[in-house]
Amino acid sequence: MHLRFAITLSFVILLCTSIELRATITGPAPADGDGPGSQVCPMCCQGPAGTPGIPGLPGNQGQFGHAGAKGDSGVKGQKGELGPIGAVGNPGPKGNDGMGLPGKVGPRGPPGLVGGTGEAGVKGQKGEPGQNSDNSANRVAFTVTRTSPSDISTSHNTRLPFQHAWTLLQGANFDLPTGTFTCSLPGTYVFKFSVCKYYPSSLYVHLWKNDDRVVSGFSTDSATYEQVSGSALLVLQPRDSVYLTMYGKAYSESTYHYTSFSGLLLYAE
């Protein structure tokens, strides 16, 4: 719309300019039509050329033309012929001879001849039946525990007593008040102990054979209850004694037996 208005306005301005220029050159026409103004002005009498008009704005872009028709598809070529088959190659060399499977086992041969036999010896007489021996005396084992709450000692030589025997076989000789085992049958024995340390004290426990200290255990941690334990394998003769001594404070109770001492005869001499 603006484009059309601009073109029209330019055309009107050009037309008005042309009319004014022409009226200036020719002048007014005479009344009777015979004067010199009625004649056309010669070429030499023409005035200067007028000012060129303003160029018009470019026009709108034209519409695209219709698409052309699709061309014909080309002709598909023919499939080529197969080439000739190649010649067969020569066979390879023969491989080495492999090892065959083992043959079947042959039949078993006939048994050999039995050699000569010597004279049979005289059969002895049947012996008298032996007497059954009582091995109950050869069974030595014990396990004892403490039931009192605590026991205090200020010497490493104080024996640890016990109050209850859970296992005490016929051949075991154990004295609860002194906590002492006395050997009655020579042999090899194993001993184990586990003593609970009372909180918040320290505890040392020693396993003795007669007057010799064999093994020891201790705990100096005063923050908790702890188990002090040890074991030993001893060869004993009759009247040898094995016992525990303690320094510090041991703990136990009647329901949970935290302190115990055990011994067992592995084999007699």
Other beta carbons less than 10 A from residue 228's beta carbon:
21
**Cβ neighbours of residue 159 closer than 8 Å, sequence gap 6 or more:** 178, 179, 180, 243, 244, 245
Q: Name the DSSP letter for residue 228.
A: E
Other beta carbons less than 10 A from residue 229's beta carbon:
14
* Confidence check: pLDDT of 1 > 90: no
Q: Stretch 206-222: mean pLDDT, rounded?
A: 94
Q: Stretch 185-194: mean pLDDT, rounded?
A: 97
* Confidence check: pLDDT of 259 > 60: yes
Q: How far apart are CA 188 and CA 198, in angstroms?
A: 33
- What is the tens place of the pLDDT at every residue in 156-180? 999 999 999 999 998 899 999 999 9
Q: Which residue has the higher pLDDT, 72 or 144?
A: 144
Q: How far apart are CA 134 and CA 155, in angstroms?
A: 44
Q: Stretch 101-130: mean pLDDT, rounded?
A: 60
